[in-house]
A and B are shown apart, each in its own frame.
Chain A
Amino acid sequence: MIPVCRLDDLPAGESVRIDTTPPIAVFNADGELYAIDDTCTHQDASLSEGWLEGCLVECPLHAASFDLRTGRPTCLPARRAVRTHRVTVDDGIVHVHVAAEVVAVVASEEEGTAA
């Protein structure tokens, strides 16, 4: 579980990028909080800088669009989904619960050895 920011610092329509490996973007879509992997699956671009409309975020480079609820692309050129992560708010602080498989990847990279 990673603390992200104060809820007050993430108003509706805004997003924040956290520097995990890989980076994660947290969005406030009209009051609902979502977290997805930040990097567009088409080409290297930060989705936290994208265009947020309802539950969709449009990549700022080539206009691929992703559904924040599922991580799935809703139009080309992206074809692969981004991972989604659970978000909670405790004591006014936004937390991201990094999806399990990401933690596993990070752990093995840190150990520097193959399992």
Chain B
Amino acid sequence: MKTVTVVGASLSGLYAARELRAQGFDGRLVVVGDEPHRPYDRPPLSKDFLTGRSGEDRLALSDAEETTELDAEWLLGVRARGLDARGRTVLLGDGRTVSTDGVIIATGASARRLPGCELAGVHTLRTLDDARALRAELGAGTRRVVVIGGGFIGAETASSCAGLGHDVTVVEAAPLPLVPQLGPEMAAVCAGLHRRGGVDLVTGTGVAGLRGTVAVTGVELADGRLLPADIVIVGIGAIPNTDWLAGSTLALHDGVLCDDGCVTALPQVVAVGDVARVGGTRAEHWTSATEQPRVAVRNLLAGHTAETVRPLPYFWSDQYGARIQFAGRRLDTDTVRIAEGGVTDGTPDEGGFLALYERDGRTTAVLSVDRPRPFMRARRELGRGVTVAEAAVS
């Protein structure tokens, strides 16, 4: 393999480039990124970056020394627009083409939008440019902020806005946010954090539309209510960036379909990160974006699926001064119990808590709020496939 092209210059794309070099690939390495920026870390965008606690220098995922070591050609600010049928040519938005022997698809996902998103004052929060724009607007005095979507991005953004002194309402279409991730009991506890943070949470009603002509003035709810707003933040999920692959031979269905080794139907094309549907599952987790590239690159260089990846799902969220961490695979039929710490009046106690999800006497998942140490122990045990009930509560 003489040339490998990584399409996507974010977290998983950079990790893929690192793995290529770490696993001995010494050929031509091309990295294509649609944003003009060098790889940066997204998790702080909704938190310390938005509140101004940390700056752009803290977002960089790489430094000059590593950039030199990677010895890659960086084609930034240019979008990939196609992959030929054999997966040997990447077509770029500016008309250039890259002939290649291997392709790593790491194009990520884009924020889902609402009709009316073109109004001034309406934001999504996915990229550095998104965060810069929102941060600038939040700095211009106290505003009425409506956050649409109570998922992690919505909750973290609402928390940051409230911390900056804005008047914040979160709208969630489901009866409770985060139920698919945490189950109803623990979702209710995490929803209590909004209240504690001084944020109104409106649930069980969707959004009918945005009001305003040039700039947004309000959010109209499906139940007829109108929430006045100067700033609206739309956090209703992300769509995998597969449009550019429409003319290729790759199977696409909510992501690039790959086997459980991140390999597509073309053995010299692999996919990683948010855009990859690996073995039937697509994860939008920072951790999977960093864990998949090792296996994907190994299989790419081997020319077949030599290794598979099934990391234990793990995600975290920082909101209202609380750190939520979750690991494992829970089902709605699992029972959940608090093994350490506690909950009072529907919100986590001062010292947080550790909760275990259980099925047939086995632990399937673990959740903690502000209990990093026992969480870490339980997560490691889960990763090893050990029953953690005893280990976590001892």
**Which residues in A have some Cβ–Cβ distance to B below 8 Å?**
43-46, 49-51, 58, 60-62, 76-77, 79
Contact = CB atoms under 8 A, between A and B. Distances in A.
B376 A50 contact: yes
B43 interface: yes
Query: Which of B66, B286, B316 has the most chain A CB atoms inside 10 A of its CB?
Result: B316
A60 B44 contact: no
B24 to A, nearest CB: 18
A51 B290 contact: no
Contacts of B376: 49-51, 58, 60
B223 interface: no
18 contacts: A43-B41, A43-B43, A44-B48, A45-B372, A49-B372, A49-B373, A51-B376, A60-B373, A60-B375, A61-B316, A61-B323, A62-B286, A62-B287, A76-B18, A77-B41, A77-B61, A79-B63, A79-B66
A76 to B, nearest CB: 7
B225 interface: no
Interface residues of B, number: 23
Contacts of A50: 373, 376
B86 interface: no
A83 B43 CA distance: 24
B304 interface: no
Interface in B1-59: 15, 18, 41, 43-44, 48
B40 to A, nearest CB: 12
Nearest to A46: B372
Contacts of B377: 51
Contacts of A45: 372
B63 A61 contact: no
Nearest to A80: B63
Nearest to B60: A79
B290 A77 contact: yes
B380 interface: yes
B56 to A, nearest CB: 15
Interface residues of A, dominant DSSP = loop
A67 B261 CA distance: 32
Contact of A43 (B18, B44, B63, B66): B44
Contacts of A61: 316, 323, 325, 372
Nearest to A58: B376
Contacts of A79: 62-63, 66
Interface in B178-210: none
Given A43-B43, A61-B323, A61-B325, 14 more contacts: A43-B41, A44-B48, A49-B372, A49-B373, A51-B376, A58-B376, A60-B372, A60-B373, A61-B372, A76-B290, A77-B61, A77-B290, A79-B62, A79-B66
A1 to B, nearest CB: 28
A52 to B, nearest CB: 10
A43 B317 CA distance: 12
B309 to A, nearest CB: 16
A77 B40 CA distance: 12
A62 B318 CA distance: 13
Nearest to B373: A49
A104 B304 CA distance: 56
A63 B63 CA distance: 20
Instruction: List 5 tightest A-B contacts by C-beta distance, closest first.
Output: A60-B372, A49-B372, A49-B373, A60-B376, A51-B376
A80 to B, nearest CB: 9
Nearest to A61: B316
B295 to A, nearest CB: 16
Contacts of B325: 61
Contacts of A51: 376-377, 380
A94 to B, nearest CB: 20
A76 B290 CA distance: 9
Contacts of B323: 61
Contacts of A58: 376
A6 B291 CA distance: 41
B42 to A, nearest CB: 11
A60 B378 CA distance: 11
A62 B41 CA distance: 13
A37 to B, nearest CB: 15
Interface string B364-394: 0000000011011100100000000000000
Contacts of B61: 77
B55 to A, nearest CB: 14
A77 B162 CA distance: 29
A47 B380 CA distance: 17
Contacts of B372: 45-46, 49, 60-61
